[in-house]
Amino acid sequence: MAAFDLRKNPVHLGLGATIHNLPEFTGDMSWYADYGAKFGDVDGDEGRLVTIHSFTESWDSWEVHPRGSELVVCIAGAMTLIQEVDGEHVRTEVTAGQAVVNDPGVWHTAEVAESATALFITAGAGTEHRPL
């Protein structure tokens, strides 16, 4: 078994406790479309995308996962996750080792003052984005 860099090559957790290595993450939205096309009909809402992303700037959009929860684990640095709940912005600062759950249907974004690295375990089916 060869080691791989989860920051470059995410994995998909599928039905039957399967793990699928994915192509190199490009950062382009088309990567997500290709991922969804490959696994959306196979695992439906039960599949999970596992990624690690590093940030030196705040996010430039909101996102929502309407059909499942997302676990966000800060593994280095600090970030403030902002969730839109009942029209209010709920801000939660997370530092290394801390986690936040984005419930289904909750729009969220993040502010990063210096730098942060986070592990995401995402129910990605139906994910949407909107500008800040």
Answer whether 127's CB lies under 8 Å from 63's CB: yes
* Domain boundaries of the chain, sorted by first residue: 11-131
What's the pLDDT score for residue 1? 75
Q: What is the C-alpha to C-alpha distance for residues 100 and 103, in angstroms, rounded to an integer? A: 9
Q: Is 35 helix (H, G, I), strand (E, B) or coil?
A: helix
Radius of gyration of the chain (CA): 15
Chain segment 58-72, per-residue pLDDT in tens: 999 999 999 999 999
Q: What is the C-alpha to C-alpha distance for residues 18 and 88, in angstroms, rounded to an integer? A: 38
Chain segment 110-120, per-residue pLDDT in tens: 999 999 999 99
List of residues 6+ apart from 76 with CB closer than 8 A = 54, 96, 115, 116, 117
- CATH superfamily label, 11-131: Jelly Rolls (2.60.120.10)
Q: What is the C-alpha to C-alpha distance for residues 8 and 13, in angstroms, rounded to an integer? A: 16
List of residues 6+ apart from 45 with CB closer than 8 A = 67, 68, 123, 125
Q: What is the C-alpha to C-alpha distance for residues 75 and 73, in angstroms, rounded to an integer? A: 6
Taking the whole predicted model, whether its pTM rises above 0.85 is answered as: yes
Chain segment 74-128, per-residue pLDDT in tens: 999 999 999 999 999 999 999 999 999 999 999 999 999 999 999 999 998 889 9
Answer whether 105's CB lies under 8 Å from 77's CB: no
